[in-house]
Amino acid sequence: MPTVLFRYLLVTLCLLATTPAATAQELTFEKDSLGQVLQRAARLQKPVFLLLTTSLPPSAAKLSRQEAERVYGTSLNDPAVVKALQPNFLVVRAFNNTPAGQRLARRYHVSTFPTYLYLHPDGTVLHRSFSNVRDPQRYLADIETFRQKLASPDNLSSLEKRYTRGERGAAFLRQYLQARRSVGAIVSPELLDEYVRELPVKAFDQFAEVVFVHEYGPVLNSRAYNVARLNKRLVDSLYTTLLLHRRVAINSAIITNSMQAAIASRDVQLATQTAGFASASWNASSNRQRASQAYGSNMLRYYKAVGDTARYLPLLMSHYEQHYMATPADTIRRQRTSKNPFTAPTPYTNLARPDSAVKMVSVFRSGGDVYAAELNNGAWEVYSSGTRRTAYLAQAMRWSQRTIDLDPRAGYYDTLAHLLYALHLNTEAEVTQQKAVAQAKKEGQPVAAYQEVLRKIKSRTL
C-alpha cells in the first residue's frame, strides 16, 4: 500500500466541524455538490466558503473529550465566526479522503489540510488560508480580508475579466500574475511569457525584475526563462543572496513547471533538460550522488506520467537499488539517531544556480522512517505497474522486507503481501496480510480494506 506522508503531516490541524467537542452552535454545511452550490451562488450573488479537510483518524475515538479538544480543537465553530460565516456565505465542506474531495483538492491545488478557500460568487478564489487555530480572530481576520478583496475593483475576478477582454500591458499583467499567485492559482508558462514580452530587455538589468520572473518558475528554454537569465551577474546574485527558502521555491517551481510542460507535450528532450537542471547544482557542489538521485527521480516522474513502462520500470529498479538498497540496513538504523541521518532522495534538491560553482546549502527530510516510506512506495510502484517479471517482483519484495525490518507498519505488510501473491507465494502472502490486519488494529487504523485483501488472497482472486 503506498504511503502519502504529506496528507498526515498536519493531521492535528485538519479536523474542524467533526471534533467531539464541537459547540452547540456550529456551522451548517451545504448538502449539494460544489458545482450546484456555485450555480446558486451566481444566482444569489453570494460568496462561497469552501473547507477542504480530512476526516478524524480512527485513533481519535479512543481519546477522552478533553484530549480530543486539546488535539483537534478548533475555533471555526466559535459563535463570532459562525455569525460572520453562516449568513453571509454558502458554506461547503469536502474531505480529501473522498473522491469528490480529491477532485477539489486537485482543482484548487491543495496539498495541506485544512485549507480554507473564499470564493467570489462567480467561483473565482479571492482568498486562501490554511491550518487550524484556536484563536477565532484568525478566522475573523480572514473573513475581513476576503470582504476587502471582494469590494476591490482590482480583485482577481475583475482581473480575469479584463484579461479575457484582451487587456495587456506590463503593469496590468504584473498585477494579474501577483493576484493569481496570491491565491495559489496556476500561472501558465504562456502568461509569464506574455508578461516578459511586454518588457524591454533592459528591464532585466534590474535585480528585482530578475527575481520576480524566477519566482514564477519559468519553463526551461521558454522566452521568460531565457530573458530572465540574460544577465548572468544578477542570476549569480540571486543564488547567493536570497534566503534559502526562496531559492528552494524558485528551483522547485522551475522543475515542476518544466516537467509539467514536458509531460503535457510528451517532450522527452525537455524532460531530460529538466532532470539535468535538477541535478546540475549537485554537480556544482561536487555531490555526484545527489545529482544522480535528482536526475533519476525526475526522469521517473516523466516516464510514469506518459506511461512509458518500457523505460520506467528498468530505471525504477536501478534507481532504488543504487540510492536505497546500496545503504546497509544497519547503517540506516544507526543514522536514525545520529546527527547526520540518512536522507531520502527528493526530486527537488537544487538550491544553487545549476550552471555555476556556487556552494549550496541544503536541507533534507531525514530519518529511517522516511527512508522506509520511500522504499515502500518504490516497492508498491513495481507491484502496481502490473509487471509479472519475476526479477522485478523479487527485487521489490526485498525492498518491502527491508521497510518492515526498519519500521513495521500495516501498509508495509500489505505491500509485501501483494508482492508475495504476485510471485505465487500464496501461503506466505496470506500470513503476511494477517500481520497487516493485526498491525492495523494495533495502529488504530480501519481494518476493512486489509481484511478484504486477505479474503482475496485466500480465495486466490487478488
Question: Given the C-alpha cell 532504488, which residue does it identify?
Answer: 320
Average of per-residue pLDDT values in the chain = 86
**Residue 358 banded pLDDT, cuts 50, 70, 90:** very low
Residue 433 makes CB contacts below 8 A (sequence gap 6+) with: 413, 414, 417, 450, 453, 454, 457
Measured distance CA(166)–CA(194) in Å, rounded: 12
Q: What is the pLDDT of residue 326?
A: 85
Q: pLDDT digits over 395-428, tens only?
A: 999 999 999 999 999 999 999 999 999 999 999 9
Of residues 370, 382, 454, the one with CA closest to residue 409: 370
Q: Mind listing the domains of the chain with CATH numbers?
A: 34-151 (3.40.30.10), 324-334+369-461 (1.25.40.10)
Of residues 125, 122, 141, the one with CA closest to residue 50: 125
Do the Cβ atoms of 27 and 76 come closer than 8 Å?
yes
Measured distance CA(115)–CA(96) in Å, rounded: 11
Query: What does the radius of gyration of the chain's CA atoms come to, in whole angstroms?
Result: 25
**Residue 146 banded pLDDT, cuts 50, 70, 90:** very high
In this structure, what C-alpha cell is assigned to residue 347? 526530486
Q: What is the pLDDT of residue 211?
A: 98
- Residue 342 confidence (pLDDT) above 60: no
Do the Cβ atoms of 216 and 253 come closer than 8 Å?
yes
What are residue 94's DSSP bridge partners?
52
Q: pLDDT digits over 286-320, tens only?
A: 678 888 999 999 999 999 999 999 999 999 999 99
Measured distance CA(59)–CA(66) in Å, rounded: 15
Residue 356 makes CB contacts below 8 A (sequence gap 6+) with: 236, 239, 284
Measured distance CA(306)–CA(262) in Å, rounded: 10
- Residue 357 confidence (pLDDT) above 70: no
Q: What is the mean pLDDT of residues 437-450?
A: 93
Residue positions counted in the chain: 462
What are residue 93's DSSP bridge partners?
51
Measured distance CA(210)–CA(198) in Å, rounded: 15
Least confident of 260-274, 282-296, 362-376: 362-376
Q: What is the pLDDT of residue 25?
A: 73
Measured distance CA(76)–CA(80) in Å, rounded: 9
Report the alpha-carbon angle 248-9-409, nearest 5: 120
C-alpha separations of 377 from 290, 317, 370 in Å: 19, 12, 11
Q: Using DSSP, state whether 94 is helix, strand or coil.
A: strand
Give residue 213's identity as a one-letter amino acid code.
Answer: V
Q: What is the pLDDT of residue 72?
A: 62
In this structure, what C-alpha cell is assigned to residue 245? 527558502
In this structure, what C-alpha cell is assigned to residue 157? 475576478
Tally of CB atoms within 10 A around 60: 18
Residue 166 makes CB contacts below 8 A (sequence gap 6+) with: none
Do the Cβ atoms of 179 and 205 come closer than 8 Å?
no
Question: Given the C-alpha cell 530587455, which residue does it identify?
Answer: 201
